[in-house]
Amino acid sequence: MQAKMASRSRLLNGAYRRLLQVLMPLFGLLARSLPLGLLYAIGRPIIGAFLLLRPKYERSLRSNLSQILGESEASPAVRSLARRVAQNHGRYSIDFFYWSERGGAAARAAVSGVENLAAMERCLASGRGCVFLTAHLGNWEMGGLLLGDRAREVAVVYVPDRFERVEEYRSRYRRRAGLTEIPVASDAFSALPALRILRSGGVVAVQGDRDFNDSGTAQEFFGRPAFFPRGPAMLALLSGAPILPVFILRMPDAGRAGSGGFRIVFFDPIEPRGDARDEGAVEAIVAETASAIETMVRDHPDQWYCFYPFWDDPTRSGSSRPGGAGERPGHVTSTVAT
């Protein structure tokens, strides 16, 4: 579920791969055949069983939510919210399969509201390209279906899933939605494909809440330093394209009918200011993107899917201060899917 919490057991990972060879085609078949409400009902006990079998993920959720809510990890509010996050993550996966099988027009009909649409229209009309920045919150993978028809080209920057079968299905659905894929290598990635698309007036979609290769910069997040990727800021500074924070939220389920649809929220664009070689300019933009993400997480903590200890990242051995061990300024790194 998260590379930062992945098991190192070759035996266990081999079993996962064999299981996914069967489950992924089955999920696709069920998504094509069953109503959404029934899919959610099937998913609930599966998520519950997963939390029982892999309790480290629930512990990580409680650790993160404790910081957000300002309550003990053992408090009833934190425990209840952690279970709700896990169930919503299951629904996110179901939504992605279900609506991808039905196409963009059907998915767009499920959008119940769009906030600050004018911000996106201004960015696209400027001809400078645009960096769509989101987070592992709500239904980010739905962006291609819901927004992909508005720009001349939309590219998704993503970290390939460690299980090839999972990535095969994600890639199939992205291509079906007309998206260009830009995979990120495990160490760093070349910004050239993303810059080409931005300079031609296209859109590059990135994640702003996952410092996947431990090269990010520390920002205050719910009262504690946490690391965020430099990649989106670097792309904006190198290309001159604004960053547009955008989040696709799940609406409450409508009883037996299944999904209550989606709500899309655009923030005002973040204009690139300064030089990509200036660490201060990079950090200033990252601080703005982290603030937008914090606003959305505060309002919708049950839709933020972070299954590793965000403030106590297990892959980091350095300090939590900017410039600490493990940071490599200058890399253009970001992620959309893990």
Q: What confidence tens digit (pLDDT) does each residue in 62-87 have?
A: 999 999 999 999 999 999 999 999 99
In three-state secondary structure terms, 229 is: coil
Which pLDDT band holds residue 329 (cuts at 50, 70, 90)?
very low
Does 250 fall in a domain? yes
Q: Is residue 317 part of a domain?
A: no
Q: Decide if 337 is inside a domain.
A: no
Residue 207 near residue 325, CB atoms below 8 Å: no
Q: Evaluate if residue 256 carries a pLDDT over 70.
A: no
pLDDT score for 326: 38
Residue-level pLDDT at 249 = 96
d(CA 317, CA 203): 35
Query: Is there a domain that residue 224 lies in?
Result: yes
Provide the domain limits for residue 31.
3-303
pLDDT bucket at 338, cuts 50 / 70 / 90? very low
User: What value does the mean pLDDT take over residues 153-172?
Assistant: 88
- Confirm if 90 and 106 have CB atoms less than 8 A apart: no
- What integer is the mean pLDDT of 269-293? 96
Give, in order, the Cα–Cα distances in Å from 285 to each of 222, 223, 227, 298.
18, 19, 14, 20
Q: Is residue 331 part of a domain?
A: no
Residue 262 lies in a domain: yes
Residues 6 or more apart whose Cβ sits within 8 Å of residue 15: none
The model's pLDDT over 100-147, given as tens digits with 9 standing for 90+, comes to 999 988 999 999 999 999 999 999 999 999 999 999 999 998 888 888
Position 323 confidence tier, pLDDT thresholds 50, 70, 90: very low
CATH of the domain at 242: 3.40.1130
Measured distance between the N- and C-terminal CA atoms of the chain, rounded to whole angstroms: 8
CA distance 120 to 99: 23
pLDDT confidence of 252, banded at 50, 70, 90?
A: confident
Domain count, the chain: 1
Token pair 């061990």 is found at 325
Q: Is 228 domain-assigned?
A: yes
* Structural domain includes residue 213: yes
Q: Tell which wins on pLDDT, 283 or 188.
A: 283
